[in-house]
Copies of this chain bind each other. A is one copy, B any other.
């Protein structure tokens, strides 16, 4: 592979340090930013029920966090509450919306219109938050020309023009993993500076471009890890005595296996590691 030290901000996982630093410029930690949408959602529900004010305790419960954290989070935004009373719901909705940049319109392009692209195009939560689907794009001639969520699917060739004329700064990638980096490069070249990536691939982008990823498979794997522990912590089917042994013994065993040219438990590793097309989304999303 011979890959040099990666630039911290050029990998798919946005460099937490960079994000923190930039947020800290105005004093809002990244962890707080990630919770603001939760608060906003809970506040919007209260607003629709015409609830005028809410305490940190009530709002925290509705958002699923504890109240100390919520108050700390809000303290980064300013002093928007009233001691002894609570927070004005409408005012807080507005302030958080503004802080998140939701008081402006964000045109978005979605690239790769398979089932997932369809689902996103139809997602009501986008429009109600200031996100507007500027265009649906696909490279497959069989898909181009069809409609999804009332919008025509346009060809990738139009990407550059659409991004330029509609001032698109956010792109959503729902292509198969093999196409994702290439699509990403074109988006960035066209002027997109924020990317939401659903393809299970690490994307490389230049400094100044933010990438967030949503990975369906990873979430399930994390659940499986905890599920495994709940099951009584008895050794799983794949466990061997050596695997449970103290570090030095395991290490020695590993070396023995390597020395013997042997793949450790290959028959057991194979089913999960190579059971199918690795993370292929082509069944979901046309190329």
Across the interface, A97 reaches (CB within 8 A) one of B120, B273, B281, namely: B273
CB 8 Å contact bits of A53-89 with B (1 = contact, 0 = none): 0100110111111100000000000111010000010
Across the interface, A222 reaches (CB within 8 A) one of B6, B37, B131, B202, namely: B37
Contact indicator B91/A264 (Cβ below 8 Å): yes
* Chain B residue with Cβ nearest A45: B278
In the complex where A13-B65, A263-B90 touch, is A220 in contact with B6 (Cβ < 8 A)? no
> From residue 255 to 287 of chain A, which have CB atoms closer than 8 A to chain B?
255, 257-258, 263-266, 268-269, 271-284
Q: How far is the CA of A229 from the CA of B120 in the complex (A)?
A: 25
Stretch at the interface among A134-142, A153-161, A179-187, A234-242: A234-242
In the complex where A78-B251, A94-B264 touch, is A102 in contact with B214 (Cβ < 8 A)? no
Interface check A38, CB cutoff 8 A:
yes
Closest 8 CB pairs of A and B: A101-B228, A11-B64, A115-B119, A94-B269, A125-B217, A103-B238, A79-B251, A3-B61
Residues of A near any B CB (own CB < 8 A):
1-6, 8, 11-13, 19, 22-23, 25-26, 33-34, 36-38, 40-42, 44-45, 47-48, 51, 54, 57-58, 60-66, 78-80, 82, 88, 90-91, 93-95, 97-104, 106, 108, 114-116, 118-120, 122-131, 149, 169-170, 193-196, 200, 202, 208, 210, 212, 214-230, 236-239, 243, 247-248, 250-251, 254-255, 257-258, 263-266, 268-269, 271-284
Q: List 13 A-B contacts (CB under 8 A).
A: A1-B51, A37-B222, A47-B274, A79-B250, A79-B254, A88-B257, A91-B263, A98-B243, A103-B269, A118-B119, A124-B280, A125-B217, A130-B271
19 extra interchain contacts, Cβ-Cβ under 8 A, other than A78-B247, A79-B254, A170-B223?
A13-B64, A23-B226, A40-B221, A44-B273, A44-B278, A79-B247, A80-B254, A82-B255, A88-B254, A88-B258, A100-B225, A108-B220, A115-B118, A125-B200, A128-B274, A129-B221, A194-B224, A210-B227, A212-B219
